[in-house]
Structures are given as C-alpha cells and as structure tokens.
Structure 1
C-alpha cells in the first residue's frame, strides 16, 4: 500500500513541492477594471468595509442616528452646513422644510422646522464671508434664494426684500458657487449670473451662454478650476450643462469684454448630479456616467477616451453598472481630508437595491466600497461626515462599531493570483493573517480557486458570545478569535487551513463587527503555504 502511494506521487505531473508566499495587504484597493488573469498585484476583487491605507487595509467604523426629520416615509434630500469661524450649524432638508439639527433632543423625533413651505428640497449652498458678516447662501431653482446668518436666521431674498437681489428672479437660481470672490449662479436655460465682488446681494450680472453651448439644455452646475493648488489669478470658471458640455472662462469680471474670455468648449459624459463634484488640489473632479473625470483631462481629450483617464478607472465595471441602475437620483461626492478619503453616494432609486457607497483614498487613489450606508445625501460638517437616508434620518459616520445596532460585514477577496507558477496545479494548505490593532475580532479565512468565488457564511462577531476565546497566535482552525482588548495596538496573527486545489487562487478574509466602540484594526499581510505539481494542460 505504501509503495503504491509513493509510486503515484512519483508520476509526472504529481511531484509536490511545499512553498510559502507572503502577500502584503492589498493597499492598491478594489480593482475590477482589467483582465482577471492579469490583475495588478496588491489589489482585491471585492473590498467591502475595509478601507485601503498607506500601510494596510483598515476596518471602517459604524454609524449612528443623529436626527430624524420625516415620518420615515420620505427622504432626507439635502444636508447643509453653516461654517462660520465661531458658529457652526448643521441643517437638513426634506422636500418642503429645513431643520436645524446641530443638536437635537431625541434623534428619533423630528424637531420643529426653521423653514417651511418650500417646493423642492434639493439645494445648492455656499458659505460666503463679506466685510460685514459670514453668510450661508442657499438656492434650489424653484423657491426664492435663502440667506442665513445666526443673527437674522433665514431670510428669503427677492428683488423687494432687505437685502435684495435684482436683475432676475431668485427662484430661478438652481446652483451657486464662488469664483474670484463672487457668488455665481446657474439660472434658467443657458443663462448664468453673478453678484458684485464680496457681496451676497445686489444687482445680478447676466452671463448669456446660448452662443457658447451647442446642444441646448440647461446649466446644471459650475465651479472653479485652478492650475495650481490654491485660489489665484490662474483660476478659471467652469460651467457644465445637463447635455454634457463644459465651457471654461478666465478673467475676473463677466461684465467686461476685456476681463472675461472664453478658454474653450468641451464635451464630457453625462454627469451624475450637480453635487457630484470635488476639488482635488486645483483640479475639479466631476462624477459622470463613465466615472470621476478631472476637468484637466476634459480639455485635452476626446469624450470617447475620458473613461481611460478617470480617477475611478480601477472600478469602471462597477461604476458603470451602478450609474445605469441608480441614475434616477443625483449622486454626491464629499471629501474628508482628515480621513484621507472621499466618498461617493449611491442613492437607492428602486426597491431592493443594496445600501452602498464608493470610497477612494485621496492619497493613493485606491478604492473600496462601504455597504450598509443608505447615502441619499451627504455633507462634511465640523470635520465629521453626516449622511441623510431614504427614510428621513441623518446619520453620523465613522463613530461606532456597528451601523445603528446592525453588524458590519468586512469582506476582502483578493484578485486571482497564480503565485508565480501559471498553469501549475496547486493545493492551498494554510493561510496566516497578520493584523495590527486593538480591537477584538473573529477572522474567517478561506480561498477560492480558478476564478470561481465561493464565499462562506460570515463569522460571528467578537462580541456576540458563544465563541471560543483564543490568545494571540493561538486559535481554532479557520475561526480564530483574538479577544484581548488593549489600550495600545499590537500585532496579532491568525491561522486557517484551506485545503483547496486549482491553478489560480484568491484568498478571502471575513470579519463581522458589532461592538460598541469604533474598530481599530488593520490587516498587514497574508501568508499562504501551498504545494505544486508539474505543469498540466
């Protein structure tokens, strides 16, 4: 019997050699925009609720309900922040009302509204400082412009109010932005306006763009674009239409032909919403159906190839799928500098769609996705991210270990890897994960073979009870618990048996989070041992 086994192992193609490979955590992030057989090293096919950093992949924290503004049957449509130096206020809007939710008595009971009788809850806003005060300018394209300051509260601004805006009806102003210390507005059709320098009221200057744009439509939004990282004389003013046209102007005074010049008209894919933009250095990034496109690329490339230079190129298949499925509501992009990431909302447009958002590391460009967050709208207020939901709640992000009591499922599936031996049959033996952190966890490690992803059920959370507790580096096969809550982070490792055979492997890591406090855990690396035979066709 023994000799028969040895004879089989000695046959051609059956010689086995045990090997070990160390794989750093996939800090290059979620990557689906390539051939499965040639994916870049250090990337993942799925990265849900793990956020790529410069040193590993870290668990995101959870969310808690901060306030409610509806009966649960209608959404939070907009979030607005007033950002004065010594007075910061957070507002939330339903379709007809605006609420001050800076502090609330009961997060489940709507407070009394500050503004009522509105006809649209989708707002554009800017914070603007004049020589006299710090103001919040808010427009929605159907109601009179709203001006806020803490002394006077909310004021409807019309041509007969005090202060007043003349030259156009303020209920036609749908988007506002700041360029060269002026407030600019998208008006009706292809008309834009701006106010005098340093003012939130006065006579509007008309900017007629009917002769510039070629496909009709209306001005959807605008912004500023700089060739450097700050505001200065090289800044340019950008106008974007709902037909995918962009006009870029330079100069400081639209009322003067010598001080206002057209740089060019360009094409880009249809945009995902007026608030789906972000400043990155001096560049203006625009969320489109083809991905996140820098305006600096729009000006020198044909629209047909813009997807190849998009910031979201790594996840193009997923972006295109979600853009097609969720086109019914506007998307938003919010940058969170202190967290070094930007988040893209994916609003729920039909029943059954999952709660999800796209997230990108602003330092490395690596992507991941957050599941469990219903991001109808978002805002960064006082260096804290808030998002409004489809049922009228406002949640504060990254503050706990669960999502309002619901567990967080952390899933990472590496991209296929032949471990340096293409076409060679492999038997995956064991995996060892190395973590750095101070959060209890139960890790489940597994492997899928030959491009067929087979993910087991997620493990229990470390706080759910009924699990065996193991000390550092000692635990159950395939379900190891590191349950020593520490004041300072430390290194821990978990091992798991794999027992799968194939030519191409994808390691998989799952953790379930449900603790009270925000997690502090980062994956550093995965070590995998395997045996190979001779090449087999």
Structure 2
C-alpha cells in the first residue's frame, strides 16, 4: 500500500508511507502526478531485474575470452548440431572459434570485417551456419570448417606424390591444363582451392604453388562447393555475393539482401550454395530507401484456420512488405499479403522473433509487427512493447543518430534485451524487459555490441575484442556497479503542503547481509546521490575461490531478511526515496526489495 497512514495524534505527528517493490518496472511515460493509483513502478530502476514478486539486484558479467585486443568484437555467431555446440567471434578481419575460452582459434583470417549476420540452416547434407556482412565473401560453416563462397567454385584436388605442402592463400597452377586457383587449406592429400578460371586440374599433372607448394595430381579435380552465381535466364544476369548483407531462411530456402539495393536473391530449396535467383522489389516500396533485413513471420490467418508463415522484407525507411508462398518464381505459389509501415528501424540486427511475431526496434519504440498490421503508422507507440519507457526510448533515439542497435532474446531468463551503444558523450547501456511481466529496467556498465547464446548462457561482444558472459559474479569484468531504485514520486495525498521526511526503512531479503544508502528526491526532479561503497562478502562458497575441506559449498543459498532505518532530510511536495546498493564482489548479491517505508511530517498549506 502507498496510502499515508496516521501515526499518533493529528497535527504534526509523524506519518508513514510505504513503497512496494516496483514489479511494474521502470515507467517513464505516465503523468507525473498520476502516482496515487498505487502503481508499483519506478522512476529509476538501474541494475535491478523485475520479477512477478519483487526486483532483484542483477548479476554482473565476467570476461569469457579476449583473443584479439586490436579491434572491437562486432559479431558473435553460435552453431548447434545436436551435441556439437560452437561459438564464434568476429574481431576485425578474423573470425575466431572461442568455443574453448582458454584456447581460441583463428578460424578465418584476411577479412575486411564489419557487422556479420548469420543463420543456421539444416539440409539433407547437414547443418550449416551461413554468415554475410556485405563486404566479404559469404562464409559457410559445415560443422568442421569455414568455406568462403564467392562467384567461383571451390575445387577438391586429390594429390598423389607431394613434394612440399601448400600454404593457405598461395596461388596454384596446373602445369598441363593451365588451371589456376588459390589455396584455402590442405588436409593430407586433399587440397581445397578456389578456382580462378573454368579449367579443371587434370589427373597426373604437376601442380605448383607460388609459395613453393608442389605435388602431382592423383585424379582430376572435382567441385566441392559450387560458386554463387546468378541463375540462367535471370532478370539480373550477374551477382556479387560479397555484397550480401543479410541472410535468413524461409520455407526451406535461403534469402539474401544485396547491400544498398532493393534486390533480394534466393537459392533453390535445400541449397546452401550454387545459383541464386533475383527478386527485385524496387517497385514495391513507395518510400524508397534500400532493404535492411528480412525474416519469416507467423500471422494469424483465419482462412488457414491458424498460423500462416509469411516472408517479410523490411526497408531502412520503415516499410514492411509481407509475402506468402514457397517459390517466388511461381506466381501460383507466391503473392503479396500487404504493405505496412513501422517507423525507421534502429539497425539490421535490431529485431527478434518472439514466438511467431517480430519485435522491431524503431524510432517509435519496440514495435510488434502485428501492431503495424492493425494500427495507423502515426499511432504505433501505444502498441509498442516499450511503451512504459516511451519517453526514455525517445530520448535515446534523439541522442544516438547511428543505427547500430541490436535486440536479443534470452529464453532461459525470459528476457528481451536492447543494446543502446555509446554515441558522442552518451554512455552505453542495455534496456531489458521481463517477457512474463512486461516490466522494464536498465542495465548500466554493459556495452554489448553483439549477442549470442551457447548452452543457455548469454554472451556479448564488446570493445577491445572482449567477449563477456552475462549474469556471472558480482562485478562487471572486475568493475563494481551500483543498483539504483527510486519509486514513482508520491505526493502523499495532495500537492498542497510540504512534506518533511525524517527516516527511511528498507526491508530486503537475500543470501547476503549487505549495506545500502537511501537519499530523498523531491518534486519530480532526479537528484541521485553519490553511490555508496560496496560491502565485502565472503567468496568462500564460489567455485575456484573456496578453500578445499574448509569452505561450505552453497552456504549462502538461504534467503535472509534484512532491514535498516536511515535518517533522511529535506522537504518537498512530492517525494521518492532513492535506494542504492553497490555490488563489487566476486559473489553476487541477488538481494530483493520487500518494501521501503518513509516517515514524514506534513506541513501546512503555506509551507
């Protein structure tokens, strides 16, 4: 309850008001004085995680790997084929295999780099990871090795007598055929090369390399992976696969967006290489611009008696074209469902699939595509998932013109996270929402440039080639952080008369006895006091920190109540107690707010 309760006789006797835990999360879009509705929300909620019962201090992040410090980690990609799980990080011009944090391997080198987009795609031939970035060759991972897919075939050369092994990247030439290629890698007697002409290497001929590699062919070369080329008779006769900037699967086909254009290219059903067919969409979008991303989408279609899978194409101008069918080349099986408008997306990785729907981070908010179907474009914000923090969202958009946001979903935590990168003098942070309660909060100290998960653990890439594991320890890669909670301002029953808080009582429960500070904020102005110091807690029960045969494992797993009165001062017409807890230990706090009570004196009308 947040109703003031009389304590003692009438007059200037101390009264008490109670603030419940902010299970409605961070709220920045409601009328300032609409707080008498007992909404359990917060005007500040940094580094707390809202749950249906309360809010809990978030855990920190720990350094997982840092294979290269020379560039930022711009992309993370995960691969999962049954019991085989892999995690890859793109740092500068290298794709690193960081599945083993202690022994990262440079899997692909010599790339330009940038924001990679990847998708896992299963066919009869296996499970593949396909990645594109709009400037480098398409990269295909087959569970063992990465392959560069260009307009040329990848050939397999079966070698007989080997005089000297070949070196990756060196040019090779067949002495008799005149065939040429460039080495990808050699594995025993098998040599894989990218063909640089259409001539096949012949059986029995000598093959020499520019760096000294030398061997005799045991048999004629064969095509291991076909090059990506335009299908015969296509309306667009040539294609440069290095310009593919986005990839996604739909109806057992891979679709690619050609960077800076309105052209989509798609492969044959079940194919991961070979010919691609163009799907020009320039005449579909009246607002112009270029295609940004695409995805499959499940739309409730009453005529189909249930969900119907659609293919959506989204432009950087905020238009969405929806198509249905399984083959764009057959008019009988392909047709446009509709053209809708959302606001401009915040980046090509600024969306997620959430169930059957799409959530797109736009200038107007985190918009479900189903809302764009049913609402006028000028009235999308009230239907946004981010509507409770609409003012804060719009401020972040105004401060950060660069469209490089990213959205991810962490199913194990029932969390959707929106990365807000640094811009000019504005610090990075992450917006998070509990998918079960729609309650928002903000995580500071984190600077995610990309996300991926492996084995149910969320990882994010950040600056200087670092990859962090989320929700680990009580610090952010060794740096303390402060959790701040301030409830919605309360006028204590009327805007007339000043209120003079005297004491604040915080009741929490958690696995550790911790310290905190409480200050008062007045009259709808956020004046957050200096953060308190972190109180040390024992690391004895933490793996790799405990003393064997002396420490008690999980000795702090039992929740304990804790409450403390703090003197406060000041005066105002509306109040909000600001609770701060600094976490700076290896052991995470995981403490929860039960309630905050404030005693106060009420002044007269002329106070």
C-alpha spacing 1:233/1:511, structure 2 compared with 1 (3 Å): closer
What's 1:6 paired with? none
CA shift, 1:535, in A, is 4.3
What's 2:203 paired with? none
What's 1:33 paired with? 29
What's 2:167 paired with? none
What's 1:261 paired with? 335
Q: Secondary structure at the match of 1:442?
A: coil
Q: Secondary structure at the match of 2:393?
A: helix
What's 1:179 paired with? 250
Q: Secondary structure at the match of 1:501?
A: coil
Is the CA contact (8 Å cut-off) linking 2:61 and 2:477 kept in structure 1?
yes
CA shift, 1:523, in A, is 0.9
Structure 2 counterparts to residues 268-307 of structure 1, below 5 A: 268-307=342-381
What's 1:525 paired with? 595
Residues in 2 aligned to 1:523 and 1:196: alpha-carbon distance in whole angstroms: 55
Is the CA contact (8 Å cut-off) linking 2:150 and 2:242 kept in structure 1?
no
CA shift, 1:125, in A, is 0.5
Q: Which residue, out of 256, 269, 279, partners 1:207?
A: 279
What's 1:45 paired with? 43
CA shift, 1:424, in A, is 3.7
Which deviations, in whole Å up to 9, do the C-alpha atoms of 1:218-250 show, x marking residues without a partner? 211011221369xx8601111001122111111
Which blocks of at least 5 consecutive residues in structure 2 are unaligned?
1-8, 155-223, 231-238, 539-553
TM-score, normalised relative to structure 2? 0.78
Structure 2 counterparts to residues 454-533 of structure 1, below 5 A: 454-463=527-536, 486-533=556-603
Is the CA contact (8 Å cut-off) linking 1:15 and 1:534 kept in structure 2?
no
C-alpha spacing 1:233/1:363, structure 2 compared with 1 (3 Å): closer
Do residues 85 (structure 1) and 85 (structure 2) align?
no
Is the CA contact (8 Å cut-off) linking 1:248 and 1:264 kept in structure 2?
yes
TM-score, normalised relative to structure 1? 0.87
CA shift, 1:522, in A, is 1.1
Do residues 163 (structure 1) and 225 (structure 2) align?
yes
**Range 120-129 or range 488-497, more displaced:** 488-497
Residues in 1 aligned to 2:287 and 2:134: alpha-carbon distance in whole angstroms: 21
Is the CA contact (8 Å cut-off) linking 2:247 and 2:294 kept in structure 1?
yes
Q: Which residue, out of 363, 379, 402, partners 2:436?
A: 363
Q: Which residue, out of 93, 115, 118, partners 2:111?
A: 118
What's 1:477 paired with? none
Q: Secondary structure at the match of 1:499?
A: coil
Residues in 1 aligned to 2:446 and 2:137: alpha-carbon distance in whole angstroms: 33
CA shift, 1:496, in A, is 1.5
Is the CA contact (8 Å cut-off) linking 1:69 and 1:76 kept in structure 2?
no
Structure 2 counterparts to residues 107-506 of structure 1, below 5 A: 111-161=104-154, 162-164=224-226, 165-167=228-230, 168-188=239-259, 189-227=261-299, 234-350=308-424, 352-463=425-536, 486-506=556-576
CA shift, 1:519, in A, is 2.5
Q: Secondary structure at the match of 2:65?
A: strand
CA shift, 1:56, in A, is 0.6
Residues in 2 aligned to 1:158 and 1:65: alpha-carbon distance in whole angstroms: 39
Q: Secondary structure at the match of 2:28?
A: coil
Residues in 2 aligned to 1:47 and 1:34: alpha-carbon distance in whole angstroms: 15
Is the CA contact (8 Å cut-off) linking 1:27 and 1:55 kept in structure 2?
yes
Which blocks of at least 5 consecutive residues in structure 1 are unaligned?
1-9, 466-483
Which deviations, in whole Å up to 9, do the C-alpha atoms of 1:140-190 show, x marking residues without a partner? 122221110223344435452332233233212110112222222112411
Cα RMSD after superposing both structures: 2.4
Residues in 2 aligned to 1:416 and 1:366: alpha-carbon distance in whole angstroms: 18
Residues in 2 aligned to 1:153 and 1:145: alpha-carbon distance in whole angstroms: 10
Q: Secondary structure at the match of 1:321?
A: helix
